[in-house]
Amino acid sequence: MLSVREMHVTYGGTVRALRGADLEVADRQVATVLGSNGAGKTTLLRATSGTLRLHRGRIDSGSITFDGTDLAGKDPAQIVGMGIVQVPEGRRIFTRLTVEENLRAGGLGSRDRAAKATAERRVYDLFPVLADRRSSRAGLFSGGEQQMLAIGRGLMANPKLLLLDEPSLGLAPQMIGRIGEVIREIHRQGTAVLLVEQNATMALAVADTAFVLDIGKVSLNGPAAELAATDAVQRLYLGHGATEESEHGPVDTGASATNPPRTTRTLSRWSA
């Protein structure tokens, strides 16, 4: 479905964010990309959604195709039209708009009214909290609710592939568990998901395949269950002896309750 080959991306012509990343998401699959801060996870999603340009970034070489169609050079609206929607890191819901208006904005990429009505029902079924407060301003919602709204908004364009950028960011363990369930449900309804996470516990539990991104390159990949068992992932991402801290403040990895004190892992973040 989505195929990334030898992807090289730089920002502003100098900062090398991806250095030959390879990745494959099969039809109707949940794939996850793990990696610490600055590994290039968000960059990979931006390359897919066509939004690199908004950050003065560009694809230097490599290919990115969706069902065989080249995505390079397409604008974000065309990519949404093809069925790929990215839910950005940090939720980025429209706080001054109501829940209903946020969802409406999510559907503006498509003209199909019937499809949008169906999508809206799907979102409200998935997130009854939103249905109850559809005319409230989104800015008043809690972090978890905002994340649900962000995902719901992303579903409004009926994506075939949903890109999620760290949906667990800043959420309490219980809410992270809920997000995991939601991803499973979305997948069960037939949407493929590419999940970028620092919370490896949740990600590996919901994903079929996993990729570990390390300074712009995939260093490990394979079935999620197998990867979860490898030493490297255990050590680096499941907290057995290592941890990461997000630049957005400490991230509750959800695994912290069972894995007390950990040392800080350093990956070369400023890779330029």
Partner 1 sequence: MTQFLSLLLNGISLGVIYSLIALGFVVIFKSSEVVSFMHGSLLLVGAYSIVRLQDPLGFWGGALAGIAITGILGLLVDRLLLARMRGAPVISLAILTIGVDIVLITELTRLIGPDILNINHPWGGQVLHLGSVGITANRALAIVVAAVLIAAFFAAFKYSNWGVAMRAAAEDGEAAALMGIRLGRVSALAWVVGGVLAAVAGLFLVGSPTPGVTPAVAAVALRAFPAAILGGLDSTGGALVGGLLIGVAESLATGYQDQLAFLGRGFGSVVPYVVMIAVLLVRPSGLFGTRELTRV
Ligand X SMILES: Nc1ncnc2c1ncn2[C@@H]1O[C@H](COP(=O)(O)OP(=O)(O)OP(=O)(O)O)[C@@H](O)[C@H]1O
Single out the residue of 24, 89, 100, 208 in contact with ligand X (rule: CB under 6 A).
Answer: 89
Cα–Cα nearest to 144, from 178, 120, 105, 101: 178
Cα–Cα nearest to 196, from 168, 216, 173, 218: 168
Does position 77 interact with partner 1 (CB under 8 A)? The reply is yes
Output b/e per residue, 137-158; b: 16+ Cβ within 10 A. ebeebeebbbbbbbbbbbbbbb
Single out the residue of 8, 19, 41, 91 in contact with ligand X (rule: CB under 6 A).
Answer: 41
Does position 23 interact with ligand X (CB under 6 A)? The reply is no
Single out the residue of 68, 114, 135, 247 in contact with ligand X (rule: CB under 6 A).
Answer: 247
**Closest approach of Mg ion to the CB of residue 189, in Å:** 26
Binding segment toward partner 1, per CB under 8 A, in 19-27, 149-157, 194-202, 214-222: 149-157
Backbone angles phi, psi at 96, to 5 degrees: -90, -5
Rounded distance between C-alpha atoms, residue 172 and residue 191, angstroms: 26
Rounded distance between C-alpha atoms, residue 260 and residue 31, angstroms: 28
Does position 102 interact with Mg ion (CB under 5 A)? The reply is no
109 binds, among ligand X, Mg ion, partner 1, none (CB under 5 to 8 A by kind): partner 1
Q: What Cα–Cα distance (Å) separates residue 98 from each residue in 125, 143, 166, 257?
A: 18, 15, 23, 36
85 binds, among partner 1, Mg ion, ligand X, none (CB under 5 to 8 A by kind): partner 1
**252: Cβ–Cβ under 8 A, 6 or more apart, which residues?**
170, 171, 172, 173, 176
Does position 42 interact with Mg ion (CB under 5 A)? The reply is yes
Single out the residue of 25, 31, 34, 38 in contact with ligand X (rule: CB under 6 A).
Answer: 38
Binding positions for Mg ion, rule: CB under 5 A: 42, 89
Binding positions for partner 1, rule: CB under 8 A: 49, 51, 54, 56, 75-77, 80-81, 85-88, 92-97, 101-102, 104-110, 153-154, 156-157
